[in-house]
Structure 1
Amino acid sequence: MSSKGEHQTVPLSVLLKRESESEKIENPEILHGQASQSKKGEDFTLLKTECQRAMGDGVATFSVFGLFDGHNGSAAAIYTKENLLNNILSAIPADLNRDEWVAALPRALVAGFVKTDKDFQAKAKTSGTTVTFVIIDGWVVTVASVGDSRCIFESGEGGIYYLSADHRLECNEEERERITSSGGEVGRLNTGGGTQIGPLRCWPGGLCLSRSIGDMDVGEYIVPVPYVKQVKLSTAGGRLIISSDGVWDVLSAEVALDCCRGMSPDAAAAQIVKEAVHTKGLRDDTTCIVVDILPLEKPSAPLPPPKKAVKGKLKAMFRKKHSEASSQSDKEYMEPDVVEELFEEGSAMLSERFATKYPLCNMFKLFTCAVCQLEMKPGEGISIHAGTSNSVKLRPWDGPFLCSTCQEKKEAMEGKRPSGSNNKALLYLLPPLQIYGTKRSLNILFLFSLFSGRHGSDSD
């Protein structure tokens, strides 16, 4: 037996096994598939695996999955698909290590969504799009969403988690209050004689969502600021389902997961779309992306039956007890762990989204706009906290800073000033004769909005 001071040798096979197990835990296998049935041709997807980025400690890879459900035309969905990822990445400093990069994602997602909306509105096109955007880095999944497409996750242990928010006015009282306080009106379609039909909508414009990218004719209180949730998965992995409202208007999370259990991601996505269309008919573009996140040694296999869904805020699951015979290595690498919530924030206020406690002191450079990354001269930037009633710790002269145009957009979203894009929204308030060349009543104008492709009219 070796004494305490002597070096003990470890068999090469054990070292190789440890290294292999460590790599498997660091980098799960990502399998994905998608399917869709088109009614209007306004749903678009982005699926990118093995995206590379240079970091302070080398090169790493991540995967991106996006679903863009357009309305009132496809321009906003196409533009967002082509530009959102670059706008997000441009908001993250290049010299971060992996942990810092993951921690920077929530803020960068907010900046990227707002910049994409700002740039698209400059093109003076009036279409809009919902966005559900998923970034997978190792076992960390970060989801940002505006609108009513959803992302759900079933863990390997059987728990169901909701990783996105629903920004329909019908079911979100807080968002209704925010819009009315910012200058918009919320109500149902008035058909005359006091009769109101359909879901709650924002007027002018008739949009039934409180958040989207685009929709410049509705007013900027329909904000592009996303709800963001970030979780660290257990080593058991699980299955993500990202679908447009064509699926979720028909299927619950439990039904969607059950109908495709044991199938490959491609087959699962096709089955979910088939179930949705079979149940209610093809009334809207219906799109589904399925992503399996698995340990490398674990083949794609039937997942266990779902346990009781975890609603509202993500709650940590109880850690499974290990048997005393298990080794420390087995505990670290083989036994499923809990799903851990790392970040969750849904406020529509930029000052709140950029002011939260943050581990990185260099997330925002002093003379760079926090949204559009424009370089500014000293003294040109406007603090994100200017005009807010935050605590003493968030002083108006503290950063991060915005350029003048991003500050104007921030204030327009908060209802503090009209912006240039809101001028078009005022057309909805003009007499119908000046807009459409007819003397029909304002109720007919609202009917036009209902059937002109505004999001949500398909299900009325």
Structure 2
Amino acid sequence: MAAGTEFSPYAMFHKGNMSTGEDMISQNSDHLKQMAIRKPPRHVSGVRHSMSTATLQPPHDLDFGVGIAAVTDGKSEYMPMIRSGSCAEKGPKQYMEDEHICIDNLFEYLDGIEGFPSPGAFYGVFDGHGGTDAATYVRKNILKFIIEDSQFPVCLEKAIQNAYVKADHAFADNASLDISSGTTVLTALVFGRMMVVANAGDCRAVLGKRGKAVELSNDHKPNCPSERLRIEQLGGAIYDGYLNGQLSVARALGDWHMKGPKGSACPLSAEPELQQIQLTEDDEFLIIGCDGLWDVMSSQCAVTITRKQLMLHNDPERCSRELVREALKRNTCDNLTVVVICFSHDPPPQIEVPQSRVRRSISVEGLNFLKGVLDGNS
């Protein structure tokens, strides 16, 4: 992005003069140190906020009080307590094209908007290709497009879906960027007890639910039956697993050399698939990562490793580093970016296999744990 076009998120609701350059970075850094709702482990570094200075522009006429009460069902007092950690490594590739964003406390990040729920958090991973322009642009602007959308916060899914398409079009209109670069995008928005995961591409979100891996996204590969059908209906073709012989994913933002006029349907789609869930006490953590992790590791293996590490040290950042290290041991061929988001400040409880005098049995949770261990040792 051209110099002078970025805005600090703290300018959204502040009056008066804004600091710029190094002063702004220093102020944001000081502010971020105070953002955590509750204290994380002492040794957790600030990397989980490393992308929290993503540029935002002022939303217009937002009523954040509308529809907020709908995030709870009145049947439970449970509320998640959010903390996260991230790790990104270039891996065996020559260049690093991944980006990510971690915001544990949206209320403070957006400078205390009245009516905004607590907890509120936002995370994203962006796997760039053909250069870093698309991944960097979307990382800096996707949250802005979400909160500016007219459907936010009444209909979160629609606001997020609109934001992906708007970000794609805005990127195409930016003459200072290489619009032939592209990026896959996966975001997770926590809004009270509600979490919405949106995915366009082959990044993946996996929920750890008492030791069981629950996938909250689909990998949009061209050979996926539903994607193949959509691609062929729109006149596209798949050669050796590549869309039109060029791209290994079926959905992405950017890549405008492969798209038609804005607003027209084309084989390469920027529209995300979304999944919305209501978080419960059984939902222990979420792993989001670029395909460099999932190319060499199953979802269940990642959940088993993360749960075991959390039980040892209860540090999501160390968990993300361990997943990256394990993927490198398994000879991944891609950049690696992993974010681990915990929904409690306590470590996961020990999974106990009930004993019986009549017959020996294993619980579903214990079976999932064993499966992950065997997968990790393979």
SS at match of 2:159: helix
TM-score by length of 1: 0.53
SS at match of 1:66: strand
- Summarize the Cα distance change of 1:258–1:116 in structure 2 as closer, same or farther, 3 Å threshold: same
Q: How far 1:301 moved relative to its partner? A: 3.9
Q: How far 1:256 moved relative to its partner? A: 1.1
Q: Report matched runs for 1:347-358 at 5 Å.
A: none
Please name the residue that 1:64 is paired with. 122
Please name the residue that 2:85 is paired with. 33
Determine if contact 1:158/1:303 at 8 Å carries over to the other structure: no
> Does the alignment pair 1:255 with 2:312?
no
Q: Report matched runs for 1:315-334 at 5 Å.
A: none
Distance 2:207 2:317 in 1: 17
> Does the alignment pair 1:233 with 2:266?
no
Q: How far 1:93 moved relative to its partner? A: 4.9
Counterpart AA for 1:46: I
Please name the residue that 2:337 is paired with. 287
TM-score by length of 2: 0.64
Identity between Structure 1 and Structure 2 (%)? 28
- Summarize the Cα distance change of 1:25–1:44 in structure 2 as closer, same or farther, 3 Å threshold: farther
- Summarize the Cα distance change of 1:268–1:118 in structure 2 as closer, same or farther, 3 Å threshold: same
C-alpha offsets along residues 120-152 of structure 1, whole Å, 9 cap, x if unaligned? 122362010011100012221110001101000
Determine if contact 1:45/1:68 at 8 Å carries over to the other structure: yes
Q: How far 1:185 moved relative to its partner? A: 1.9
Determine if contact 2:207/2:283 at 8 Å carries over to the other structure: no
Q: How far 1:299 moved relative to its partner? A: 1.7
Q: Report matched runs for 1:47-446 at 5 Å.
A: 47-52=102-107, 58-61=115-118, 62-93=120-151, 101=153, 104-123=155-174, 125-155=179-209, 157-170=210-223, 172-188=224-240, 200-203=241-244, 206-219=246-259, 220-260=266-306, 261-263=308-310, 264-281=315-332, 283-294=333-344, 299-301=346-348, 304=351, 306=365
Determine if contact 2:188/2:197 at 8 Å carries over to the other structure: yes
SS at match of 1:217: helix
Q: Higher Cα Rg: structure 1 or 2?
A: 1
Question: Structure 1 segments of 4 or more deviating over 3 A?
Answer: 24-27, 53-57, 301-309
SS at match of 1:107: helix
Please name the residue that 2:23 is paired with. none
Q: How far 1:154 moved relative to its partner? A: 1.1
Distance 1:308 1:88 in 2: 40
Q: How far 1:289 moved relative to its partner? A: 0.4
SS at match of 1:29: coil
Distance 1:33 1:303 in 2: 22
Counterpart AA for 2:242: R
Q: How far 1:300 moved relative to its partner? A: 2.5
Counterpart AA for 1:224: A
Distance 1:125 1:247 in 2: 27
> Does the alignment pair 1:45 with 2:97?
no
- Summarize the Cα distance change of 1:248–1:56 in structure 2 as closer, same or farther, 3 Å threshold: closer
Distance 2:366 2:157 in 1: 29
Q: How far 1:243 moved relative to its partner? A: 0.9
Distance 1:209 1:71 in 2: 11
Distance 2:102 2:242 in 1: 32
- Summarize the Cα distance change of 1:90–1:308 in structure 2 as closer, same or farther, 3 Å threshold: farther
Gaps of 5+ in 1: 1-21, 95-100, 189-199, 310-460
Distance 2:350 2:170 in 1: 42
Number of paired residues?
A: 262
Counterpart AA for 1:181: Q
- Summarize the Cα distance change of 1:276–1:122 in structure 2 as closer, same or farther, 3 Å threshold: same
Distance 2:113 2:331 in 1: 51
- Summarize the Cα distance change of 1:43–1:185 in structure 2 as closer, same or farther, 3 Å threshold: same
Distance 2:350 2:183 in 1: 33
Q: How far 1:287 moved relative to its partner? A: 1.1
- Summarize the Cα distance change of 1:185–1:48 in structure 2 as closer, same or farther, 3 Å threshold: same
C-alpha offsets along residues 74-108 of structure 1, whole Å, 9 cap, x if unaligned? 100000001111111111457xxxxxx3x611111
Q: How far 1:237 moved relative to its partner? A: 3.5
C-alpha offsets along residues 193-237 of structure 1, whole Å, 9 cap, x if unaligned? xxxxxxx1112x601211010011122431110000000121343
SS at match of 2:155: helix
Gaps of 5+ in 2: 1-73, 260-265, 353-364, 369-378
C-alpha offsets along residues 24-52 of structure 1, whole Å, 9 cap, x if unaligned? 94542112111121132101101112112
Distance 2:129 2:350 in 1: 35
Structure with greater strand share of residues: 1
